[in-house]
Structures are given as C-alpha cells and as structure tokens.
Structure 1
Amino acid sequence: MQDSDSVKAWCSEITTSYTLEQRKQWYSVVAHAYNQVRPRYPQKLIDRAVELTQIPPQATILEIGCGPGIATVEFAKLGFSMVCLEPSQEACQLAQINCAAYPNVKIINTTFEEWQLEPNKFNAVLAATSIHWITPEVRYQKSAEALQDNGSLILLWNTPPHPNDEICHLLDEVYQTYAPSIPKSVRYQARETHQANFQEIGQDFLNSGLFQDLRSEHLVCETTHSIDDYLLLLSTMSPYMKLDLQQRDALFANLTEVLERHSPGSLQTAYLSAVQVAQIKRN
C-alpha cells in the first residue's frame, strides 16, 4: 500500500501542480539536451515488447508523449506505422528530424488530452517514460478507446542514470550546501523503489477494468558520460529544472569540481530500463 500511495503522490504532483499549459512546455527549454543525453531504451526490451504483445508487422502504434523520438525511432526501424503525440513544439521539431527516414511516422504537436480520439484504430498504445504526465482519468479510458479489440499497451521506462555509491556519497555535501531541496531519496532512488513504482502504475491500468495480463521485464544498463554530459543530463530532470538559474549554476560548478577530482574525464553510471505490456480487455 505504501508503494501505491507514493506512486499516486508522484503522479498527482505532476497533474495537480502544473496546469495542462505548463505541462505542454515543461521540457521545451531542455529539448535539445534531452535529445542529446537522455538514456536510450535497450534494443532487447524493444524486441521483447514486440514479442510479448505479438503486434503484427504492419501494426499502427499510437505514441503518447514521444519527446524528441527516442523510443519512436526504435519502433520505426522495425517497420511499424506510428502516430506520435508531443505537446512541446521544440521536441516535435527534433522528433521530425530524427524520424525523417521513416515516412510512416506522423508527429502531431498536441497533448493526449487534447488529441481528437481515433477510436479502435491502433494495434498498440506506447508511452515511453511519459504516462505519468497524463491526467489519470484520461490515460486509462482514452488509451483503451484508441485500441483495436486485440490491442496492447506498452509502457517503457528509463530511470535517471546514477554514479556508484562511492561517488554519490562524495557528492552529498555539495547537494546539502547548494541544493538541499533535492534530498538524497530523490537523487538516488533505489532500483527496487523504481520497480515497485512502475508495477503500481501498471496495476492501476488493470484496476481500471480496461486492461488485463500485465507483464513486466527490466534490465540494468551501464553507461559512460563525460562530466559535462552528465550535468547536462541532470539539467533535463525536473528537480533540477525547478532550481533558479543561479542556484543551479552554483550546484553544477561544485559538482564538476568534485567529479573532476575523483572521476576525471568521464563518469560511469547505471540506470534501470523496464518494459510493461498489457492487453485491452473487452466485455
């Protein structure tokens, strides 16, 4: 029950703290950085999503909140037709560039809430680290209504990449001094907590009575960042975006100093990547 409550608090913070207009543009100022440094979804999980859902080669996928097209490109490579919704104009432009080689991908600058529903059209609804931005009463019902009778829901997740425990410990004092509003529990949330949160979001789809047969898989992925790219990555995360510019600059300058001293040149990080699939439930 505690995990469920934390998920509801996490999702409600987004949908109640920000108006729809604010949510539309939240990532606009960091769209290019997001495109450059946000972690990618492992091909193994993309392939598993296709295997688990058994969507046909000629399937049409509706993607909710495609951003600059990080997941979009991976499904487009497999030959699927896609209709992708993205509220940020800047992210839409990047998605169009990234998907230029795939004529069966259509990018629409709108929110899922405002999108004119095309009922019973899609073989799958895809959301890649985005479904928590959708108003709860919309995300279940409208996703179900968009799907064909044998359609599937695909949720992909990437958690923020974290350095190892030793490096995290060295950075604690910097955060306590320059950004106490970002506690350690937010900066370095345990993988088990992320997994529990994802499971609860999937369970909420089942609880809606509109979906069934939830299945989940995950991988731990290791990456190497330059220190500049790691800080650029942090700048695309909401807790850092909420800081005023002067505070964020001071935080990043001091993080850079510590990282250059203890991990000169590059930084090893790891993140959790997960896929969840469920089937539409028709009465």
Structure 2
Amino acid sequence: MDDDPRRHVLHAGFDRSAQDYERTRPVCPPRLFDDLVDVAGLVPGDRVVEIGCGTGQATVPLAERGLAVTAVELGSDLAAFARTRLAGFPATDVVTSSFEDWQPPSAAPPVDAVVAVNSLHWVDPQLRYAKPHQLLRPGGCMAVAGCVRVQAADADAFWTQVQEDYRAVGYEGDPPPAPERVSPRHLPAEARTLFEEVASRRYPFEVRYAASDYLANLATQSGTHALGEARSAEFLAGIERRLDSLGRPVLTVGFVALLTVARRLP
C-alpha cells in the first residue's frame, strides 16, 4: 500500500472499532520487545517515539521495560483507549495526530529510538524514514515490527474452504503463506542512505480465537474496510454462516512477527 491513495481513509477505519481492535488484534511476542530493547541498546528512561500506537498494544510492553514513550496515534478513539491502558505509566504520553503532522516540542532533545509496530506502511512514503531520521539522536535506532498471517500445510480444512468466501466478494490479496516462506524483513533500499540495519529477526506464534472474536478481528482489517459497507457485510456474513455450519469452532491462527532494527547514520 505504499502509494495507495486510499491509505488515509482505510487507516481511519480502525478508529471505528477500537474495542474490537484491542481485543482481537495479535500482539507481538514478549521476546520481540526484549530483543528490540537489547539490540537498540535502550535502557530505562530512554526516550522513544512510537508511530501509530493504536490501542497501545506495543506501547504497554515498551513502557513496562522502563522506556519514556511518546505514542502518536491518528484515531481519537484508539488514542483514548491507549491513554486509559497507559494511565499507570506517567512517563508515557499519547498524542492524537498523524505522524506526518506531529512535531515534538521545540525544546525537546532528539530521541533514542523510533518504533513502528504494524503501522509504518500507513505513513507517507516521503516521510517514512526521513522523519524518524530527523527525530533521532546520532546513533539512535529505528525499530520496525509487525505480524504476518501464515498458514501451515497441515492447517484445518476451514482455512482452505474459507478462501471461497474471500473470492466471492473480490477480497484483495493472496491466501496466507506457509510459515517457512516468511523470511526476516530487511531495511528497504530507500532507507539505506539514512540507516544501517543491525538486526532482522522472526518470531512464529499462534493465537486461538473464539468464532465471534475471529469475526470481530476480520471486521477491523483494512482489507475488509476496503470492500465497502455492502460487500464487507456480505463477506462477514458468509464466513459466519460457514462457522455456524461447523459449530462455531475455536480457531487457531498462525502468525510470524518480524523485527528490523536499524541505526541512524550521520
């Protein structure tokens, strides 16, 4: 979606379902956050800017590790939810703004890290790496993480059958790849004049969903929003009928979390 003109419209759609987003979105494993802090050389009290914090699913692990996080979130409902979750961390601040428009206080020193978890693709490509570079101190790090949906070869037959419901409404994208096909994600060419990659790692994990939570998760996804109101309703109704026919089973969903850490070049 790097240059998709729908980027801002689809991103804003997350704000309409903040509670479902918080309850059903996969969260990167704790080990990813441990590695992020270790590789970036962060210590308690270090200042971090987080791009697109959503409901604080990554902000909380960062704050729990003693970091002073300024979390920037476009959606007002998402930001409000994050503030509630982070009320016990006085060094953490949630700002309602797009990352593109947000500016630090004029007297604020450069930060030690910029972090984007499942969010960097929503940022204007012209600012995606240039603005973090401007915000960071010399030698500071940018960390980019996210979760990729995967499907093992021996996954339940439901996951193959449900592709009919995706095709029926023209849902964009391919079926999930096998876990072993998801490689660590490296720094793209356009960022290499600004940053030097220092780590790229992957973390397979699974999430178990009740049928109702899985449907709620699908409703929060940008691909579902992109269908428009009528087709998204048709899509979700079709999957619910399929789940009903199977007795609304608990679903095991595979993911691979990816982490890339890069150090700011002069």
Q: After TM superposition, is the score higher than 0.5?
A: yes
The aligned amino acid for 1:152 is C
Q: Residues of 2 paired with 1:87 and 1:267: CA distance?
A: 31
Residue by residue over 1:33-62, the C-alpha shift from the partner in whole angstroms, topping out at 9 and shown as x without a partner, is 111110011001100111111112221101
Q: In the aligned structure 2, how far is the partner of 1:219 from the partner of 1:146?
A: 28
Residue 275 (structure 1) aligns with: 259
Instruction: Name which of structure 1's ranges 218-227 and 161-170 shifts more when overlaid on structure 2.
Output: 161-170
Query: What TM-score do the two structures reach when normalised by structure 2?
Result: 0.89
Give 1:1-283 correspondences, 5 Å limit: 10-13=1-4, 16-18=5-7, 22=9, 25-117=12-104, 121-160=110-149, 164=155, 166-177=157-168, 179=169, 181-183=170-172, 185=174, 187-189=175-177, 191=179, 195=183, 198-199=185-186, 202-204=187-189, 206-207=191-192, 209-262=193-246, 264-282=248-266
Structure 2 CA distance for partners of 1:220 and 1:257, relative to 1, 3 Å: same
Q: Distance in 1 between matches of 2:182 and 2:224?
A: 19
Q: Distance in 2 between matches of 1:175 and 1:25?
A: 23
Residue 257 of structure 1 deviates from its aligned partner by 2.6
In the alignment, the residues of structure 1 paired with residue 11 and residue 238 of structure 2 have an alpha-carbon distance, to the nearest angstrom, of 32
Report SS of the residue matched to 2:127: helix
Cα distance in structure 1, aligned partners of 2:190 and 2:91: 29
Matched-pair contact (CA < 8 Å) for 1:81–1:105: yes
- Output the amino acid matched with 2:37: V
| CA–CA distance in structure 2, aligned partners of residues 17 and 174 of structure 1 | 23
* Structure holding more helix per residue: 1
In structure 2, relative to structure 1, the CA distance for the partners of 1:122 and 1:184 (3 Å cut) is closer
Show the counterpart of 1:5: none
Give the conservation status (yes or no) of the 8 Å contact 1:215–1:278: yes
Q: Distance in 2 between matches of 1:140 and 1:126?
A: 11
Greater CA drift, 259-268 or 109-118: 259-268
Q: Distance in 2 between matches of 1:117 and 1:171?
A: 46
**How far apart are the structure 1 equivalents of 2:180 and 2:3?**
21
Q: Matched residues in 1 for 2:206 and 2:242: separation? A: 21
Tell me which amino acid in the other structure corresponds to 1:55.
Answer: L
> CA RMSD for the aligned pairs?
2.3
Secondary structure in structure 2 of the residue aligned to 1:103: coil
Task: Give structure 2 stretches of 5+ with no counterpart.
Answer: none
One-letter amino acid of the counterpart of residue 188, structure 1: P
Describe the SS at the equivalent of 1:137. coil
Shift, 1:220, TM fit: 1.1
Cα–Cα, structure 1 residues 227 and 136, in superposed 2: closer, same or farther, change >3 Å?
same
Give me the whole-angstrom Cα distance separating, in 2, the residues matched to 1:138 and 1:260. Answer: 45
Q: In structure 1, the residue corresponding to 2:237 is in which secondary structure?
A: helix
Q: Quick one: structure 1 residues 128 and 87, their matched pair in 2 at CA, closer, same or farther if it must change by over 3 Å?
A: same
CA shift in 2, pair 1:281/1:184, >3 Å:
closer
| 8 A contact 2:50–2:70 mirrored in 1 | yes
What is the CA distance between 1:158 and its match in structure 2?
1.1
Q: How many angstroms apart in 2 are the aligned matches of 1:235 and 1:86?
A: 20
The percentage of aligned residue pairs carrying the same residue is 23
Shift of 1:153: 0.7
Q: Which runs of 5+ in 1 are unaligned?
A: 1-9
TM-aligned CA deviation for residue 238 of structure 1: 1.0
C-alpha change, 1:123 and 1:263, in structure 2 (3 Å) is: farther
